[in-house]
Each structure stands twice: as structure tokens, then as C-alpha cells.
Structure 1
Amino acid sequence: MPPIPISGTLLKKYLLCGLSVALLAAASSLTPELQAATRTVTNTHDNGPGSLRDAIAGATRGDEIVFDPSLAGQPIFLTTGEFIIDNDLTISGLGQQQSILDGNGASRIFRITEGVSVALSDLMVRNGWPKECLADHRTRSEGGGIYNAGLLELDRCMVTQNLVDHRHSHCDDYYDSPESIRGGGVYNKGTLVLNRSAVDANAGGGIYSYGGGLYNIGVTVLADSSVSRNTGYWDRYEGLQGAGIYNEPSGTVTLLRCSVNGNIPAKAIENAGSLTVTDSTLAGNGYWRGGGILNRGLATVRETAIVSNWSGVGSDVGGISNWGTMTLERSIVGGNSGEYGGGIANRGVLRLINDTVNTNEGYWLAGGLSNTGTATVVGTTITGNRTGHTFAGFFSNNTGGIKNTIIAGNQDFNDPANADCGGSVTSLGHNLLGLTHGCDGVVDGVNGDVTGVDWTRVVENSSSPYGGLHVNLADNGGPTPTVALLPGSPAIDAIPESSCLDADGKPLLTDQRGVARPQGSACDIGAFEFAPPRGTGFWEHQCSGLGYVQLTSAQVQTLFDQVAGASPAFPECAPVGCGTLRLPTPKNDMRLKAERSLLGFWLNLITGRMTRGRPIDLPALTNAATAGEALAEVEMTVCNPNASRGDLGTAKEIAEAINNQGEDMELVSAESSTTVQPGTFRAFTLAVVNMSPDVRNYDLTSQGTWPVSLSPARVNGLGPGQIALFTTTLFVPGDSTNQIGEVLVTASDNNSAPPLARTAAIRILVSNPADSIGGGKVRPIPRR
């Protein structure tokens, strides 16, 4: 796959993450038409004809440099200094492990000068060490592998085992300026894009070095990339600033689908400028100077896991230390540990929205969240955190507030009564707290708050191998792990929809997973919105009053009344009411079992959890094509006094199979196969059906053996039970006679939990030109 042009879709995607439009303007200088010539590297010499250095020196604006395949796996060792690129240029290697540029421990590998645009792909940049003596005999060592002052893209590259350090630099003064040791792997003062690349195992040495992996004073974007195993000077007090990434006040850093793992001995990311992290993971970072993120600037973190980071004795916080302004949304901070706080310590302005803070451990300060600044916490679950000293879950002695938040199930080994909260807490309404002995401001029954609740009734938990119970953190769908609510939890439907808002009064439309709020009659407290399961079991709990609490007994009876009025046959063959579901059923009474399944079928139809027109595919049980046809078949069997045990068993299995299906969406095509003449266009009609009780949006995509297009490409605002029609158009080339192809159309609902996708396949047979166009209209079997 060729490198993605900087001016193409890659940067357009990143602009959505907040980059300036000016980035596109700067990138326009690397358009494909400027790649005027291709120069080939034919040997591994440091200089001379056929060398990479010679190709760079002879290149003109827009040229591309490639490597002869015979050089695969043979390193190029630099012996006469760094490669200086002062012209627009593309260098395309043979692969990270095949095209290796080695600084020989004596120099940096690449310097990109100001005002040029450079694309590097499929290269390894390793073992660089720049050593520059300044006029006052101090050392400057910046960008061990790469120094960028222009516009640089790295695609499928690895920057590894590079170093910046003042030691052994042959300068007279051993001690350097604190600003002189920066960027073990990369130093960026221009615009840098890393796509599908790795900054791995680089080091920043010396007192007050900055950025073991990457130092940024410009604009940096990382996508589908990793910053891992970078390290620095192991001094407890005067060590590395930002083991993975250090961002200066004037810098902007954006991470999208990245991993920042195993960087030591400082915070993985230290930000003094602007930082945006989306759909990423920060794990296993830390030691003396903290673990995950230290923010002194402006930071936004979304759909990200900050987990298993740590900080040593006498040091900082394991997960996040915020001194600036930070927003954390739909993310998890879990399993972090530190002496001065496990999960989050806030001294600035912090906003948490739809987050989980779980199983963190702190010694002196709260295991979960400690606030001495201004912290506003909305729709968040803080549970399972531990401390050996005070207030395991949440501590605040300053401003902010908590809203629609769970703080329960935390452990304080020193003072168990103060495990959940401490200090002065401002309630913004509808919180659920377990123990409130150590905190003021949250009162049971005031502002919709609930306190003194046994946490084992609130969230999912299980036996701990160390004794007692622990909170269950799990993949419940969505971008990050969550803690699910138990059926019957007092957090369910505890927030009136009018109060299901963030601190600014804007609606909280989803939970941490992206599941729509509310799922019941009102919103749930915490980061998890409970959605009732389908099938008869759900209605049995509703009738028992022991489990689910989405509906009152009066509402359930209203549903049974609707069932009784919906089908003339049904009341004649089975009683209608909770007793039907709750009565003990003898193992050999197949009729009662079938009646029970039929009643669940009807309840799911009445409540909108299923639609009559829903396509089904149960070829082993029935020929019915829709839920309505299957219902009629089940009814006829159950209501027939002479039905055999085998027929009743089949009817029961049909109803249960449909009741227990969790799909909320289906995609069907009017044709599953057709014949098309070569050199012609062919249009197909498809339908997406919303079987959920909520309004949904669907993304539509298509692919095929030959070019296809869709109209429309997205369906917005499709209501429960509604059907949207769309078309996909296929063009079959004239040279495709007698070939067989396929069109695949997919409808996706990425906001459901878990995300839903359905694919319909249309088989295409290309005829001879003289053949007539035909095609069978058979009922398709949708792919699952």
C-alpha cells in the first residue's frame, strides 16, 4: 500500500480532531503531481553514488526516493553526520524491519528544515544520538532520531533506540541548561503526523530532560500509532519530564486510536499546551514521577482507558494529575496506584462526564479522585477504589460538585466508615452514595440524592479471591470497560428525564458506552444505563417485583390488558396476567410452556421491543419470514386443543428463539441474486428496519466485485418499527462476461451497545450480451 499523501484524507480526518485549516494549506505542497522523479538507493554506503545521502542531495522538489529490493534487511550506518532534508521529498522504504537507518550512536538520523514538506514511510530510524557543543561549552541534544522544523509525515515507521543526553558529549561543562535535552526519539517544532507508526524504546538522559519519546513545540498528530517503552534519567527529583510525550505551552498534540504504554520513570504524557486524546490506551507507565497524564495546560480525553499506571513512594499520582483545565469523557481510570493518589488528583479545573473511576489505590490521598481545585463530576461511577490512609473513593476540600454520580463500594483500610467520600462535597442532584460519614453536603432525600445504600445491591460484584466481594469491571460494550448496574439497583430510573443533564444544563444523551439515555422511564445514576433484556424472563421479573423496576405493577397490568385486546384468539386459549408467567409449570406440560412463551412474544410486540414486520430466519423451525407470520403460526398451534406435544414444543421454540434475539435492527434486500449484462448499470432496493424501542441512526456502506454506490449513505431519525428504503447501484464493466460477483451492503448502528451491523449479500451473474436480464426474487437470508 503506498504512503498516504499528507494533503489527502489523512489530514482531513485529523482536522475533525481540532487541527487548524492552516495545516491543509501547508500540506498542499506535497501533492502527487510534484513527485517529479524517482531516485533509487542501490547500496548501504553512508555517501557516494547510489547512497541515500547522495539521493537526498540530488533530489529536487517533489521527488521520491525508494530502495532497491536487494537492500532488504541491510542497515545503513551513518558515519558522516545526519541527513539534512531541505526540499520537499518522499522517502519510501521496504518496511520497518527491511529499511533500517542507524545513527551509529554518533549523530541524529534526520533533520527536516523549516518550510519543507517530507513524507517518510516503511523505515526504521534507530540508534541516533545528537551531540552539539554550544558557544558557552554547554551541550544541546535535541531529537535523537528526528529533528523536524517543517511538515513531516511518518507512515508505518519505527523510531527506536535513540537518545538525547548531555553526558559523554565532549563539552567542557558537565551540567547543561535544563532546556537543552529534548526529544529522545523525535523533536518537533513544525507540523508532525505519525500514522501507523511507533516511537519505541528511546531515552532522554540528563538532568531535567524533556520527552523520552517525543518532544513537541509545534503541532503533532498521532493516529493508529504507539509511544512505548521510552525512558529517561532515573533521578527521583530532577528526572525526565514526560517519559513518552512532552508538550510545551505553545504546542498542540492529538492522539487518535493510539497506545502509550510502558514508558518510565515519569508520566507517560506531560502536557503544558493543548492535548486531545481519543479512543486510546495509556497503560503500564510511571515510576518516580507519576504514571498516566500530567496536565498543566488544556486537555480533552475521550473514550480512553488510563489503566495500570503507577507512581513510586514519595511521588505523584498513578493515573492523572491535573493542574490545568481538563475534560474526561466516556473513559475509564482504573487500576492505577500512587502514594499521593491512585486514580486522579485535581488541583486545577476538572470535568468528568460519563466516566468510570475503579480499582485505583492511593496511600495518602484518595484512591479514586482527590480534588483540591474545582472538579465537576457528572454521570460517573466511582467504585472499588482503595486507600490505606483516608477516603478511598472521593475527597474534596474545594469547589465543584457531583451530579448523577455513584460513589459506593470503595475501601478504606484505615477507617472503613470513611471509605466512600470525605471533605466538603457539593451535590448538584441525583447522586447515590454508600458511606457519607466523612463528607458534608450530600443528604439522603435532598436534591434527589440517595445515601447509606448497600453497594452490593447497586453494581455487579463477585467473590474476591482475597475474601469478601469486589466490583466487576467488564467489557459491557462501548469503547471502554464499565461497571454494570444490578437488576433492581436503586440507581435505575432514579433521575427524571428533565434532570438527565450535565453541569451546563445540556442533555446527557448516552452513557459511557454510547447507550441512549434513558432506557426505562427515567435515567440511571452513574456511567451505566441499564437496559432490560428481552424474552419471557424479563416479564417474569416484572411480575415478581423482585428484580427489575422499569415498570410499575399498574403499568404491567396495562400491558396485559393490551395483549388481551390485541388478538381475539389469545384470551380464549390462555389466561392473561402475571400468574401465567409465575405459575409453576410441570416439566411435562408442554402446553403451559408454549402459552408462557407466546405471552412473552405478545408483550415484546406490545412494548415495541419487537415489530411484527421484523424479518426472521429460523429455517429449522418455521417458514415464516416475519415476526408477524411467526406469531400467527404460534397462536394457531397453542390455541388448537388437539395440537400434539411435538407441535406445541416447536411453537414454544419459535417464540423463545424470537424473544431471546437481541438484535434491534435488520437489513433486507428485494433480491438475493440476479443476472446483469456487461457494460450496464443495475440498481437494487434494500430496506433497513428499526426493531428497537428508540429512534436510531444508521450508517450504510457497500462494496462489491465491481464499482458500487449508495443513496443515501446514512439514515437519520428512524423511529421504532419504521422501515427506510435505499438503493445501491452497480456498474458491471464490458469485459466481465460470464463472471460471477457479489455486492455486500452493510447497515451499522455504532451507538448501540454492543454496536450492531447487518450485511445483505446480492449474488451477481454477468450474462452474455445476447442473454436476457433475469433474476430470482427469493427471500434473502441476512448475514449475521
Structure 2
Amino acid sequence: MIARPPRLPHRLLATALVAATCGAPTDGFAAQAATAPQLRSDPARRVFATFATGRARPSRPSVPATVLPVTNCADAGPGSLRAAAAAASDNDEIDLSQLTCSRITLTTGAIEIDADTLTLTGPGRYQLSLDGNHRDRVLIHPADGALTVKGLTIENGHDRATGFHVGAGGCIASAAFLYLDDTTVRNCYAGGEGSYGGAIYAYAVTLDNSTVSGNVAKGVHEDAGTAAFGGAIFTYVLDLTASTVSGNRAVHEVRDGRTSYDIGGGIVTIVGGNVRSSTIDSNYSEGRAGGIATFNPLFLSNSTISSNEAADGVGGGLFMRWPSTLRAVNSTIAANRASAGGAAWIEADGSALYSTIVHGNAADADEAANLQGRTPLTIVGSHDLVGASDPALVLPADTRSDDPLLGPLRSNGGPTRTHALAPGSPAVDAGSNDDGLAFDQRGFPRVYGAATDVGAFEQGAPAAAAAVPGLSVRFAVLLAGLLGGLAASRLRASSRHRAAAGRLPQDR
């Protein structure tokens, strides 16, 4: 079996954990934090801030203090985004929604935002792009509040640190709470002795109906070992809803005699967080955690973890570093690969699986293709389909190992891709709905037929109930939870009626 992973395999991991500490500071903490990587030499303006205590989410004003319009797509000058950002005060909104151009190309460096709390509003992510031109980051926000980006594409950012410095947030670097709504962040790069977030570095990251794709975090140094943390995102607090993190990479420049520590091809989150109705797929780490690495509890609901790879480490889909735990509800973890624990590597007791598929993952010979643990562990839950896993893991008593007959990862309706259930799948009507979810990952009814299906996809559910016009994705998901009981009751009644009348073939 694979050797136990080291607790602190690289000094840069220790640096990351220093900033993640949420308890009261100590003298040692302060001494280490003083040497943490910085965006600026001024300690008051660094993005790698000293987080001595846990931080409450700042309020975002429902009405902005001032709306600053952007009237042209120039890099700088009157009416430009750069000029509006320089003039903005706390709680302002910068409005780009009236622009008729499709791209703002930055030729003189990143846009630096000094306001603690600011909103950038575009016409839609398919209408307008902020392009870093592969010269610098796109947005820098060394502040304490909240940065919100709506209706934009952020792309082609580049941060290459030299010497013993680190790269961070190739497109967006913020010390604050970052909110992305209807936004795409793509084709960004961060490199250095350590790299933290190929696309995004922020204290907290919230994605709603957004995509982070095609980004690279790369460890590069001529004369030292390197590390890459989060090909797409490095954050302390994670919150994803109806979003996709796809095709990102945490890699290193190969140097003879030099070591590397690459983790989280998609995401590294220190404090953990939530992934709801989202897909994490096709991400790659040259070390461990192809999809997500977390150091504290992660909640996975109505979501898909698929086709991620940890090329030379554990946890193809998920790496649950001690003391983190996983609670996966109505989710699908499939087609991931790692040296061991192809689906997930779990190091602490306390994880749970409810109505979840963990199947069709791969690992090296003599290692567990699906779930694997560092020590004997017990996982609680019910109504799961789990493929071959580490015998040291005690799974829920009713766990089945049947092949769920998953279709390929593709668009099956809704904002994210999913694995459909083929006809005759043992997952159909064999699950549970412990959290009272109204909808499946796509936004289709969560309970259809005799019972809930296992996994993120509900076979045969009609699309008509999915749309909630006029509501934000996040509010729709929350509303779905509140309406779950009523929706389930009506669907069960409908199911009983169909059973009494004789079910037609097209019903399934």
C-alpha cells in the first residue's frame, strides 16, 4: 500500500497554513506571518494578509453608494475601467453593462482596487471580457471587504514571481471576500517558487453560475524545490453553487535533483466549504488532489467530481487532508484517477455518504480505485453505490458495489455537466433525499418515480420545474431547499397515481 503522505512536505505549505490560522495569534504566528508572501512591499497592502482571527462575511449594500459608469474600452484615461477603479470609494459599483465593445485589453498592468467593498457589473460573461494580455494580473484587491464581479469574463492574466517569491492569483488576487456571479475566469497563469491559485487567490471565494477553466499554477525555480497549490483557486473559504471548475493544472518545472509539491489541480481550500449543484472535472495535479484538496470539512451536495487526475499522489477527485471530513449528499464521484484513492483519499474519521455514487475511478495496482484511507476509518451514511475501496474503510451497512451504468460527462440540461444514468441503472429509485432537496444537480425535480435516484442525476425527471425566472442561481437553490418537502410530497402522490394506472415506457 502507498506510504503515508507527510504532514508538511514543503515549507510553502507551512506558509499557507500560517495565513489560514483562525485562532488567536502567537509570537510564532506573528513572526512567520511577517515573512509571508506579499503583493506589495507595504505590509498594509499585501494580499497574503495576517488572518489572526476568523473573519465574518462583510455586508454587501443592496444599493450602491455611487454608480460609476465605464463609457469606453480604453486601457486608461477618462471613462475607462482603470479610471473608474481609481475613483471608486467603499460600497460603490462600477457599471460596464452599457459598453458595446467585446473586450477591454489591459496594456499597462493590472487594475488595482483600493476600495474595501466594490462591485464590477458587466453586460454578461459572453458579451464582455477583461483581458490581462498575458502581461499582468487583471484585478488586484489588497483590501478587507468584498469584491463582487458580475457578468464578465476575466482572462489571460499572468503573474510570474522570481527568486524566492511566490505567484498568486494569475487573474484575480484579493485579500478579501471574492464573489463571482455569471462570470468566467480562464486562461490565467501564476508561477514562482510557490504558486497559489493559477486563476484566483482570495481569502474567501464564492462562485454562482460561474466557470473557472484552463488555468495553470506552476512551481518554477532554478535552484530550489517548488510547490503549486490550486491550478484554478487557492482560498481559505470556498462556496460554489451551479458552477464549473474544469481543465485546470497544478504542475512544476522539472529540475534534476529538485523536489516539488503540487496539490489541487482544481482547488485548494484551507478552511473547507461548500460545493452545491456544481461540477469539478478534468483538472490535473502532478502531485496529489486532482480535483479539490481541503484541510477542513467539505460539504458536497448535488454535485459531480469527474475525470480529475492526481498523477503522482493520492486523491484523484478529492484529497481530504487530516483533520478534514467529507459529507457528500446526492452526488457523483466518477472517472477520477490517482496513485491511490482514485475517487478520494480520506485521513480522518467523521465522513459521511448519503445517496452518493463513488464508482468507476482508477488507481495504481494494489491500491484502492475509489475510496482509500490513511488509517482504519468509519464512514457513515446510507443508500450509496461505492466501487472497490480500501478494506480498512468501514462503509455504511447498506452500501452496494453495483456498477451504476453512468453515461459520459456531458450537458444533460441545467448549467453544469453531469453523468446521466443509463436505462436499467441500479441507482434508479434506490437512493434517499436526506436533505430534502427539491432539485437534482441540473435543476430538475430531485424525486421522480418511486424514490430518489442515487447520485447527482435524477433519471427521467422533466425539465419544466427547473426554471425559476428572475431569481439569482444562489437564491433559487436556497428556495429549492425550502420547497423540497412540498415538491417531494406532490411527486410521490403523482408517482402513486402512475403506479395505479400502469406506468408507460416514456415515463422512465
Select the structure with the greater relative contact order (CA < 8 A; seq sep ≥ 6). Answer: 2
Q: Which one of 431, 434, 440 corresponds to residue 501 of structure 1?
A: 434
Q: Map residues 635-650 of structure 1 onto 2, 5 A cutoff.
A: none
Contact between 1:323 and 1:349, CA under 8 Å: does it hold in 2? no
Change (3 A) 1:699 1:263: closer
Q: CA separation in 1, counterparts of 2:469 and 2:115?
A: 41
Secondary structure of residue in 1 paired with 2:299: strand
Q: Which amino acid aligns with 1:406?
A: I
Give the letter aligned to residue 288 of structure 2: Y
- Between the aligned partners of 2:460 and 2:162, the Cα distance in structure 1 is 50
CA contact (8 A) 1:355 1:512 kept: yes
Cα shift at 1:23:
4.9
2:184 to 230, 238, 259: 259
Greater Cα shift, 191-200 or 398-407: 191-200
Instruction: State the 1:416 CA deviation.
Output: 5.9
CA contact (8 A) 2:138 2:155 kept: no
**Gaps in structure 2 of 5+ consecutive residues:** 1-56, 123-127, 191-196, 219-227, 253-259, 471-485, 492-508
How far 1:159 sits from its partner (Å)?
Answer: 5.1
User: Would the aligned equivalents of 2:129 and 2:154 in 1 still touch at CA under 8 Å?
Assistant: yes
Contact 1:396 1:425 in 2 (8 A): no
Contact 2:443 2:467 in 1 (8 A): no
Post-superposition Cα deviations, 1:88-141, rounded to whole Å, max 9, x if no partner, equal xx5653x42xxx254xxxxxx68xxxxxxxxx5xx4659xxxxxxxxxxxxxxx
Alignment counterpart, residue 473 of structure 1, candidates 405, 409, 425: 409
**Structure 2 residue 232 is the aligned partner of structure 1 residue 292:** yes
Whether 2:384 is the aligned partner of 1:431: answer: yes
Residues 37-89 of structure 1, C-alpha deviations (whole Å, 9 max, x = no match): xxxxxxxxxxxxxxxxxxxxxxxxxxxxxxxxxxxxxxxxxxxxxxxxxxxxx
Counterpart among 328, 349, 367 of residue 377 in structure 1 = 328
Which of residues 320, 330, 343 is equivalent to 2:291?
A: 343
Change (3 A) 1:392 1:237: farther
Q: Does residue 277 of the first structure (1) align with residue 207 of the second (2)?
A: yes
Question: Contact 1:417–1:435 at 8 Å: present in 2 too?
Answer: no
Output the amino acid matched with 2:329.
Answer: V
CA contact 1:309–1:319 (8 Å) conserved in 2 = yes
Amino acid at match of 1:219: A
What SS does structure 2 have at the residue aligned with 1:515? Answer: coil
Contact 2:445 2:466 in 1 (8 A): no
- 1:259, 1:282 within 8 Å by CA — same for their partners in 2? yes
Cross-structure match for 2:132: 201
Quote the offset at 1:234 in angstroms: 4.2
Corresponding residue for 1:223? Answer: 150
Q: Which has the larger radius of gyration?
A: 1
Equivalent-residue separation in structure 2 for 1:101 and 1:517 (angstroms): 47
| 1:328 match: secondary structure | strand
- Structure 1 residue identity aligned to 2:166: G
The structure 2 residue matched to 1:525, chosen from 450, 454, 472, is 454
Query: TM-score, structure 2 length as denominator?
Result: 0.67
Structure 1 residue aligned with 2:13: none
Alignment-derived partner of residue 20 in structure 1:
59
Q: What is the number of residues matched between the two proteins?
A: 376
Of 162, 168, 173, the residue aligned with 1:246 is: 173
Quote the Cα distance in structure 1 between the aligned partners of 2:157 and 2:300: 29
SS in 2 for 1:418: coil
Q: Is the 8 A contact 1:160 1:185 kept in 2?
A: no
CA drift of 1:192 comes to: 2.2
Contact 1:227 1:259 survives alignment (8 Å) = yes
SS in 2 for 1:312: strand
Q: For residue 374 of structure 1, report the CA deviation from its aligned partner.
A: 2.2
Separation (CA, whole Å) in 2 of partners of 1:230 and 1:441: 45
Shift of 1:252: 2.7
Q: Is 1:328 aligned to residue 275 of structure 2?
A: yes
Partners of 1:438 and 1:148 lie apart in 2 by 58
Alignment RMSD (CA, Å): 3.2
2:380 partner SS: coil
| 8 Å Cα contact 2:231/2:264 also seen in 1 | yes
Greater shift in the superposed pair: 145-154 or 253-262: 145-154
Matches for 1:91-106 after TM superposition, within 5 Å: 93=71, 95-96=72-73, 100-102=74-76
Return the offset for 1:188: 3.5
Does the residue aligned with 1:333 lie in a helix, a strand or coil?
strand
1:295-335 residue CA offsets vs partner (Å, 9 max, x unmatched):
21x33110001000001132231111111131110000000
| Partner of residue 408, structure 1 | 359
Structure 2 partner of 1:366: 315
Query: Could you tell me which residue of structure 2 aligns to residue 488 of structure 1?
Result: 424
Q: Name the residue aligned to 2:481.
A: none
Cα distance between partner residues in 1 of 2:177 and 2:81: 25
The amino acid of 2:439's aligned partner reads T
Match of 2:26? none
Judged with a 3 Å threshold, the aligned counterparts in structure 2 of structure 1 residues 490 and 417 are, in CA distance, closer, same or farther, namely farther
What does 1:305-320 correspond to in 2, within 5 Å? 305-313=244-252, 314=260, 315-320=262-267
Question: What is the DSSP-based 3-state SS (H/G/I as helix, E as strand, rest coil) of the residue aligned with 1:489?
Answer: coil
Query: How far apart, in 2, do the equivalents of 1:189 and 1:527 lie?
Result: 40
What is the one-letter code of the residue matched to 2:157? Answer: N
